[in-house]
Each structure stands twice: as C-alpha cells, then as structure tokens.
C-alpha cells in the first residue's frame, strides 16, 4: 500500500507519500507545491493535476487521503478548494485509487488526542514521529503528513481516524 496525503490549496499544496509493507511504514516523499497567485486558477489547477498525476505514477500510489473542507470566513476560498478536490477526485478515479477523507477534527484527534488542537501541536507530533525530518517551512507539509498517517492507520486498522 502506498498512500498519498494532500493538504489541498491553491497557493501551497502540502503532500506526503508513505509506503506500508507488512508492519513497516516508510516515508517516501513529502513537501509542498508552491503555486504562484499571479497565475490563473486554471493554470494552478493544471500544475496540481500534472504534479500529482506524475507522483501517482512514479510511486505506484494505491490510496489517497485528504482533509474535508470547512466553510470558514471566505466562501470564495471554500469554492476554490473544491476545484483542487475535484482534481484529486479525478486523478483518483483515473488511477483506480482508494479515497479517504477526514475532517480536521478527526485528524487532530487521532494525532494529538485533542480534536481542537492547533497546527503547532500537530506539527510537534509529526516531528516526534519522524525524528530525522527537519521542521518543514510550511505547516501544509505537517498537515499533509497528518492526513497521510490517518489514511495509513485507517487502512491498516490499527487506529481509527
């Protein structure tokens, strides 16, 4: 099983890829896609499609996990995140991936034991779980790692996310 976790965004899109073989899980790749706000939304969506399509093929990804959106203060941002999610759904369908989604509360609860934990608390847990990893420049990366772990745990049945 190879899981791609994505923290969707049109400015920064965090991602992490974990492979599980038997009882061993290996972090294959992680980072963030930086998308220029000066480019059109269509251009950024095309970059997202290309990047994740290439990653799915390169790493033989079998599962994809991402966070369910919540309507915050800005409905426009919520709508634009829907575009990114649409790209991820399309890629998942075209590559036969198993999709799992988690609410922000579920992810925080699984990682920290507290559903209202802050991003800094999630990041501390991620860094404790991956001690060789340097602290990422963007929280989008630790968020992506968190959602990837939830996908891993859900499909490994070792923990409920």
Q: Which residues belong to the active site?
A: 7, 67, 140
The 3-state DSSP class for residue 29 equals strand
Q: What angle do CA 71, 63, 20 make, to 5 degrees?
A: 125
Q: Are strands 12-21 and 63-67 parallel, antiparallel or unpaired?
A: unpaired
Compute the CA torsion angle 87, 90, 96, 102 (nearest 10 deg). Answer: 50
φ/ψ of 160, rounded to 5, equals -95, 125
């Amino acid at each position: 099983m190879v899981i791609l976790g994505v923290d969707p965004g049109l400015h920064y899109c965090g991602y992490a890829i974990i492979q599980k073989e038997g009882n061993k899980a290996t972090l294959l790749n992680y980072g963030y896609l930086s998308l220029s706000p000066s480019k059109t939304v269509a251009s950024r969506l095309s970059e997202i499609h290309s990047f994740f399509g290439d990653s799915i093929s390169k790493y033989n990804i079998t599962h994809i996990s991402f966070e369910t959106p919540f309507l915050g203060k800005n409905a426009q941002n919520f709508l634009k995140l829907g575009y990114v999610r649409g790209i991820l759904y399309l890629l998942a369908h075209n590559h036969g991936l198993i999709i799992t989604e988690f609410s922000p509360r579920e992810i925080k609860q699984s990682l920290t034991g507290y559903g209202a934990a802050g991003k800094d608390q999630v990041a501390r847990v991620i860094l404790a779980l991956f001690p060789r990893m340097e602290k990422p420049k963007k929280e989008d990366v630790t968020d992506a790692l968190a959602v990837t772990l939830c996908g891993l745990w859900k499909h490994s049945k070792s923990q409920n996310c």
